[in-house]
Each structure stands twice: as C-alpha cells, then as structure tokens.
Amino acid sequence: MPAEKCTFSLVVPVYNEGPNIGPFYERVARVMQGLGEPYEIIFVNDGSQDDTLDRLLSLAGKDPRVKVIDLSRNFGKEIALTAGIDHATGEAVIPIDADLQDPPELIPELVAKWREGYDVVYATRREREGESWLKRATAHLFYRVVEKITPIKIPRDTGDFRLMSRPVVEALKRLRERNRFMKGLFAWVGFKQTAVYYRRERRHAGKTKWNYWKLWNFALEGITSFSYIPLQFATYFGLTVALFAFIYALFIVVRTLLFGRDVPGYPSLITVILFLGGVQLFAIGILGEYIGRIYSEVKQRPLYIVKGRYGFHRIREAQRSEGHNRTAKKIGSLSG
C-alpha cells in the first residue's frame, strides 16, 4: 500500500475505455489543479481488452499523481471500485467514471459541502441524457423498489459519483462481502450525508457496458444484498396459495356430499398442479439466490487479484533518495 498522503483521491474503475482516458484526464486535471490541494488519480484497469492499460501507463509516466492498478481479469465494476478505495490515501475519496457522464466540474461543489462538515456528498441526477426511455423508466422503478423494501435509505437516482471522508472510507474497507452493491454499502455505513444535484451527460465515446441482462442481475444483487423481503414474500405467497387450496378442497368435499357431484376432471386438475408447481419453483428460485450468495461468501476467496501496480512508490522512492543525499552531504561536511 502507498505511504504518501494527499487531500483528494479520485478512484476511476475502467473497462475498455481507451478513447475516454485522455479527455477524462484533461478535464479532471484542470478541475483538481484549480482546487490547489494535493491529489491522486487512481485508475483501476478491470481486465480491459483494448488499449486502455497502455494509455493509463503513458499518463502515469508523465504525471506522478496518476496511479494504475491492473487487475488480473475482469472482476466487475463493484470490485474494481473496491480495489481503488482500498488503495486510496486521500482525506477525501471521490469515485467517478471515465466516460464523462458524471462531469468532473461538479467536484468543487462536492468539496464545498465536505468542508461544511458532511462526510458523504453524493451526486443525484436530475436528468439523464443519451439514455432510452426504457432504461430511464427501469432505473426510476429500481431505485423506488429498493427504497421500499430495504431498511437502509439508499438515495434515489444516485450512482457511485460522490465524495467520502476518510472515516467513511475506513468503514467501507472493513466490509469485505463478496457480492457487493456499492450504492447500498455507501448508505449502510451511515455518517452525515447530503446531496448535490446535476444533469448527467452523454458518454464521451464508446458504448455502455451495461446491457439489460447485466442491469437485471445488478438489480437482484442490490435487492438480495440488503433485504429479506423476497424470502418473506415467498413464504406469505405460499401460505396464501395453501389457504386458498384448502378452502377450495373444502368446497369440493361439501359440494360432493350435498349434491353428489364428482371432483372436477383432468383440465382443472392439471391447471392446479401446474400452478402449484410454478409457485414452488418460484419460491425455490428466490431461496436459491440467497443460498448462492452464502456459497460465494463461505469460500472466502479474495475480492480481487492485482496483476500490477504502477506509480504508487515513486514519491516514496524519491523521498528515500533525497534522504540518502542529505545523509551523504552531512557525512561529507563532518569529514571535511
């Protein structure tokens, strides 16, 4: 881990974002230099297949404030974000995406709120440009469903873009669960939080890595990580079906005894069997989602594997070299 300290650490998970690296760096550098405080930019290369890593290493060679963590494969954005937070040394840590949908120019506003005494300042989207109506609608629905079924207040329409104080970061570093829903973890740790509102822009270049299947799995991750409501729903739904089945069975028995009618035939029987089978499979599926997460946790595998770290020891080595030079000068003056 790095020993040097700074005021701000930007954590940037990247996956096949080659065309965005240069423009992102230029805008971020301009904003951070305007703050007049020492900072670092930690890029986490999450197994990119394009020239993302080459571009990052080129930046790191030119700017000592740029640091690169190269993961051994694609672990997913939530894990890559965790890796960056683990390595951040700043008094305030700012996760941000490299696609420039979240404008770096908003950072001074986040910093101003932090200086007012807030531990977490999250950026909430007022508008979402460049997204289809279906994606906007599903995102709107997701945040409101999560809000209703989880005991933790997760801010609506809010991504990972935010500023977090050092105490919040240290609290997050203690949470090592394998199935990670970072928006929920950001809210779970608590502390004093507030919002800053902005208009989300279009991607600068490239295509989003989030298709609807990945978004669906991401939604399941968020719900199952912070709520037992699906399990309770399966229980109550099963009880309700059993109750109606019992009432219907009584009805059939009474009707047969009073009117001598036969039990309904094959069509009604097969319908009931299929319905009950579907209910059972539905409940088993919900249970399987939770069991799968338990299985993942008990294996205790590391969250990520780092293939290489670049730029983290340059300042420390420079300080060590400077110390050696001072010692040599002192010895020379004593000898003289």
**Greater confidence, 280 or 166?**
166
> What pLDDT sits at residue 314?
57
Specify the DSSP class assigned to residue 202. Answer: P
Give SS3 for 242: helix
**Mean pLDDT along residues 7-30:** 89
The reported pLDDT for the residue numbered 163 is 92
Q: Write down the pLDDT at residue 43.
A: 93
Distance, CA of 122 to CA of 110 (rounded, Å)? 8
Q: What's the pLDDT at 266?
A: 53
pLDDT of residue 295: 76
For residues 252 and 163, give the distance between their C-alpha atoms in angstroms, rounded to a whole number.
64
Six-digit token string for 146: 């999560």
Using pLDDT thresholds of 50, 70 and 90, give the confidence band for residue 293.
confident
Q: What is the pLDDT of residue 292?
A: 77
Q: What is the per-residue pLDDT for 181? A: 80
Per-residue pLDDT band for 153 (boundaries 50, 70, 90) equals confident
For residues 136 and 142, what is the distance between their CA atoms, to the nearest angstrom?
10
| Residue 232 pLDDT > 50 | yes
Q: What are the residue ranges spanned by the domains of the chain?
A: 6-227+307-316, 229-298
Mutual angle of helices 166-173 and 77-87, in 10-degree steps:
120
| pLDDT at position 294 | 79
- Global confidence as pTM: 0.69
More confident residue, 130 or 149: 149
- Which CATH architecture is the domain 6-227+307-316 placed in? Alpha-Beta Complex (3.90)
Predicted confidence (pLDDT) per residue in 82-91, tens digit: 999 988 888 8
Nearest to 22 by CA among 52, 64, 65: 52
Q: Is pLDDT larger for residue 180 or for residue 270? A: 180
